[in-house]
Amino acid sequence: MKLGEIADALGLPLEGEAALEIRSLAGLDDAGPGELSFAGGARYQKQFEASRASAFLLPPGFDALGRSCLRSSAPYVDFTRAIELFLPDVAFEPGVHPTAVIAPDAVLGEGVSVGAFSVIGARTRIGAGTRIHPHVVVYPDCEIGPDCEIHSGTHLRARVRLGSRVIVHNGAVLGSEGFGFAFGKGGRVRVPHRSGVEIDDDVEIGANTTIDASHPGHPRRGRATAATHVGRGVKIDNQVQVAHGCSLGEHTTLCAQVGLAGRTSVGKGVFFAGQSATSGDLHVADGTAVLGMSGVMSDTEPGAKLVGVPVMPRALFFRILAASKRLPDLLKRVARVEKRLGIAGPLE
């Protein structure tokens, strides 16, 4: 592809050689001749200068030093658009595969695709343009909005509702029964979790993630049912566990292997780094950031930066960590002081 063609395809102004042949994309450090790279801002100046790329996506005002570039107000966003040019998504087989088993009373919108061996349960409704890959199982009474993409190996249990443009990666399980038991005479009795899961628009759910269904005894938080709820624009990575009765506010982020225990209420724009977790029945306020491997055991303040098990403010955690490395010596120092003072014997 010529640089000029890329400029046209992305709709960006070109400075330099339009006829330059670009064969692939790479970061500044890795790029070589014939490759297009990008620099997000002034802090990449040195890497830019050392880069062997043939052309760059650069923000306005970034000195191109006479090298060929496309000007972009968001170089990384435009770099990801360029990925679509060089590495297009594999074509998705449109239509309903003849092997798919679709309940007679399921309702498929216009242009819905269903891949080989997928199973669509009774009364389930699927919105226009949604793409169901092969080997997806949708239990009865689900509702899937338009323009969703459901990858192979996904399982939607009964009463799961997805909004528009939801992406679910392979092996995710939505709506499995929450881990709740009542204690009866004969021991533990399963509590039927039949309130389902509600996923709002523009949510993405990672591979092998599990989001459990809720039951009517769990809090509704102002919604019509006690369904486990994932708000608009939430992004969930792989192998995350969201237990029964949780609620996630808009644009919250759960990194890989996070675990939210039952009835965790999470605000908007919250960030959970990898392997962090909550114990149940608590509220994580808007804008909270929980660092990796940290455990939230009580309500948080808006915007708090937290770390540790249980979590504490980040600054305190690292102050204690630094001090703890001096602790073995401190024990000796206190013993020296006591010796000097002639203090001995047990504490009262």
Tell me the residue type at 146. Answer: P
CB of 274 to a copy of itself, least distance (A): 5
Helix 75-86 × helix 3-10 angle, to 10°: 110
Of residues 138-167, those binding a copy of itself (CB under 8 A): 139-141, 151-153, 155, 157-158, 167
Given a contact cutoff of 8 angstroms between Cβ atoms, the answer to whether 228 and 280 are in contact is no
* Catalytic site residue from 193, 244, 251, 283: 244
Residues from 95 through 134 that contact a copy of itself (CB under 8 A)? 97, 99, 101, 115-117, 119, 121-122, 133-134
The span from the CA of 174 to the CA of 148, in Å, is 15
* Structural tokens at position 311: 């979590």
**Number of residues located near a copy of itself, criterion CB under 8 A:** 124
Q: Minimum distance from CB of 176 to a copy of itself (Å)? A: 4
- Beta strand 149-150 with 131-132: parallel, antiparallel or unpaired? parallel
Does the N-terminal peptide bond of residue 98 adopt cis geometry, omega within 30 degrees of 0?
no
Interface with a copy of itself in residues 35-74 (CB under 8 A) = 38, 74
Coil/strand/helix, residue 340: helix
Per CB under 8 A, does 269 bind a copy of itself? no
CA angle, 180 as apex, 175 and 186 as ends, to 5°?
A: 135
The answer to the question of residue 25 lying near a copy of itself (CB under 8 A) is yes
Minimum distance from CB of 19 to a copy of itself (Å)? 22
Polymer length in residues for the chain: 348
Output 126-135 pairs: Cβ under 8 A, ≥24 positions apart: 127/164, 131/92, 133/92, 134/97
* Single residue of 8, 23, 24, 299 touching a copy of itself by CB under 8 A: 24
Only one residue has tokens 């939210």, namely 260
Which range, of 8-16, 47-55, 59-67, 271-279, touches a copy of itself by CB under 8 A?
Answer: 271-279
DSSP string, 181-192: EEEETTEEEEPP
| Site residues (CB under 8 A) for a copy of itself, limited to 246-265 | 251, 255-257, 259, 261
If one asks whether residue 94 binds a copy of itself (CB under 8 A), the answer comes out as no
Structure tokens at 348: 């009262």
135 catalytic? Reply is no
Nearer to a copy of itself (CB atom), residue 128 or residue 320: 320
Q: Which is nearer to a copy of itself, 20 or 156 (CB)?
A: 156
Instruction: Decide whether 13 or 219 has the Cβ nearer to a copy of itself.
Output: 219
Active-site annotation, residues: 244
